[in-house]
Amino acid sequence: MAFKVTDKVTWVGKIDWTLKKFHGDEYSTHKGSSYNSYLIQDKKTVLIDTVWLPFAKEFVEELKKVIDLNKIDYIIANHGEIDHSGALPELMKHIPNTPIYCTGNGIKSLKGHYHQDWNFVQVKTGDTLDLGESKLTFVEARMLHWPDTMFTYMSGDNILFSNDGFGQHFAADPLYNDVVDQEELYHECIKYYANILTPFSSFVTKKIEEVLSFNLPLNMICPSHGVIWRDNPAQIVEKYMEWANNYKENQITIVYDSMWNGTRRMAEYIGEGIREADKDVTIKIYNASITDKNDILTEVFKSKAILVGAPTINKSITYAAIGILEMIKGLAFKEKKAASFGTYGWSGESPKIIMEELDKAGFEIVSDPIKELWNPDEKALERCREYGKAFADKIK
């Protein structure tokens, strides 16, 4: 499959409708994904990025239907991660001397992955490549989201090839932002930002400000995953600026794990207390053992405050609870408030352990932890309701 994006630009990537997990099991892709590769045919011919390794052979076969591979003058590797560079070894068997343009860190990354001494050309921000009628300008985008990442801007068509930035794991056909389901698109965009880019938000803000300062006309953003932003591409740039600025909505998320439903009951009564204190706040409650972890993290991203609960087991907390807390810590959320809770039978360490983990993760702890012995009775549940009320009052 290939399709024309403009007279000069052809999409030659792969739509992966069946992908359910990405980065091993680190990211759930309920809606599949796409690996977008772009062929520019001007006086010179350029291939921007390739596709994920399992699709390498079919990528090259499909590409041959669009262009004689020997006519490719340059390859641009905006990012060395395998989902974009995975077909390079197969492609380079056919055109071994074709120069590969990438950052210095890109060379390290590609050599690290493939151990090949290809014809690398190192580029820096502001370097250009003349294609005839159009020109490519490279912009290093370190830590968006790897040290090697760069953007490539094409003058004439005024396209920003942004690699992972502004992308989503979203299989769609047609692959354009204005024709897909807008709710699905928004959800996949914010999930992608929350789960991949949150730790790099300060880089996001600086890089967008830098690119905007160039005053380049922008007709389209062509990322390496998901839809091409051809209708009002500035909308996703504006969203990124908003999300990068310690984003939060009027939402409180309660995440818990439970062995015998006691901690679940605590979660629900804490939620009732929050509702009594605040009629407007959105409350969401998730069981970390049941709900997809990346969906939970997206809700944490949207929240102004969270409560995390788990029962005590072996003087510690449950597998699902420590897993989600570790992921929360890694994403380095900012300006969010938190508290913790849990049931216990005898030693009762879990709420304190959770509180310490949330503190390490950078959350402001606004209430001492609450714990309830065995299965919470009516009095215990009333204490949870009061706890929720007090928590909501503190974060209003």
Contact residues for ligand FEO, defined by CB under 6 A: 79, 81, 83-84, 145-146, 164, 224-225
Catalytic residue among 192, 193, 344, 387: 192
Contact 334, 304 (CB under 8 A): no
Nearer to ligand FEO, 164 or 188 (CB): 164
Nearer to ligand FEO, 49 or 372 (CB): 49
What minimum distance in Å lies between the beta carbon of 63 and ligand FEO? Answer: 19
Nearer to ligand FEO, 17 or 260 (CB): 17
What minimum distance in Å lies between the beta carbon of 37 and ligand FEO? Answer: 12
**169 belongs to the catalytic site:** no
**84 belongs to the catalytic site:** no
Distance CA 151, CA 269 (A): 48
Catalytic residue among 7, 23, 209, 382: 23
Contact 228, 175 (CB under 8 A): yes
Nearer to ligand FEO, 10 or 36 (CB): 36
Kindly report the backbone phi and psi dihedral angles of residue 162, in degrees, each rounded to the nearest multiple of 5, phi listed first.
-100, 5
What minimum distance in Å lies between the beta carbon of 149 and ligand FEO? Answer: 7
Catalytic residue among 16, 42, 49, 83: 83
Nearer to ligand FEO, 35 or 333 (CB): 35
**225 belongs to the catalytic site:** yes
Output the residue with the shortest Cβ distance to ligand FEO.
Answer: 81
Distance CA 393, CA 396 (A): 5
Catalytic residue among 16, 38, 225, 256: 225
What minimum distance in Å lies between the beta carbon of 72 and ligand FEO? Answer: 22
Nearer to ligand FEO, 145 or 264 (CB): 145
**16 belongs to the catalytic site:** no
**187 belongs to the catalytic site:** no
Spell out the residues 6+ positions from residue 314 whose beta carbon is closer than 8 angstroms to its own: none
Q: What is the 3-state secondary structure (H, E, C) of the chain?
A: CCEECCCCEEECCEEECCCCEECCCCEECCCCEEECCEEEECCCEEEECCCCHHHHHHHHHHHHHHCCHHHCCEEECCCCCHHHHCCHHHHHHHCCCCCEEECHHHHHHHHHHHCCCCCEEECCCCCEEECCCCEEEEEECCCCCCCCCEEEEECCCCEEEEECCCCCCCCCCCCECCCCCHHHHHHHHHHHHHHHHHHHHHHHHHHHHHHHHCCCCCCEEEECCCCEECCCCHHHHHHHHHHHCCCCCCEEEEEECCCCCHHHHHHHHHHHHHHHHCCCCEEEEEECCCCCHHHHHHHHHHCCEEEEECCCECCECCHHHHHHHHHHHHHCCCCCEEEEEEEECCCCCHHHHHHHHHHHCCCEECCCCEEEECCCCHHHHHHHHHHHHHHHHHHC
**192 belongs to the catalytic site:** yes
What minimum distance in Å lies between the beta carbon of 169 and ligand FEO? Answer: 9
Distance CA 70, CA 53 (A): 21
Nearer to ligand FEO, 166 or 243 (CB): 166
Contact 173, 15 (CB under 8 A): yes
Nearer to ligand FEO, 81 or 90 (CB): 81
| 49 backbone φψ class: left, alpha, beta (φ>0; ψ -120 to 50) | left
**278 belongs to the catalytic site:** no
**30 belongs to the catalytic site:** no
Question: Annotated catalytic sites, by residue?
Answer: 23, 79, 81, 83, 145, 164, 192, 225
